[in-house]
Amino acid sequence: MPHREDIVIEQYYRKMLWAGAYPLLLAAMAGATWVDRIHAHSLRVAAPNGASIVAMQQVSDRLLLLCALVLAAGLLCAWLLSGVARWLVVASVAVFCLEFLMPVIAATLPGGKIYFAMLGPGLRMGVVLVALALSVLAARKAIS
């Protein structure tokens, strides 16, 4: 018969396993965003044809699926953690959602599309990296 302390420790490790998935998925998202930027640049340099446009659309679809997975993991992580760690995860999810709002905000500003075309990839990486930093701080806070 397991002791109560063993059950509590096992539940804690199970919770931390699920909560630790969010920073790992955000790190994968940061890497995927960087690879997408390189991939889009290489396709832009090559002669644009129908196959390259289809390839870019497929990559975008996969990134949106990864974003949905990251958001679901962030919400699960916020639900599992408590205290300051929970608020850091909520802040991380909010910062990550800025990635979806940046094109909308750029479209409303005068000349925003031009600036977004120049600064967009850097802004996307910055948003994902800030969200990753906040999630790592949350994981560190939850462990300590």
Question: Where exactly are the structural domains of the chain?
Answer: 4-143
Q: In the prediction, which pLDDT does 94 show?
A: 95
The average confidence (pLDDT) of the chain is 81
Q: Is the sign of the CA dihedral 107, 113, 118, 121 positive or negative?
A: positive
70-119 pLDDT, tens digit each: 999 999 989 888 889 899 999 999 999 988 888 787 778 787 777 777 77
Mean pLDDT of 24-34: 88
Instruction: Classify residue 41 as exposed, middle or buried by CB count within 10 Å of its CB (0-12, 13-18, 19+).
Output: exposed
pLDDT average, residue stretch 129-142: 90
The pLDDT score that the predictor gives to residue 8 is 67
Q: How confident is the model at residue 51 (pLDDT cuts 50, 70, 90)?
A: low
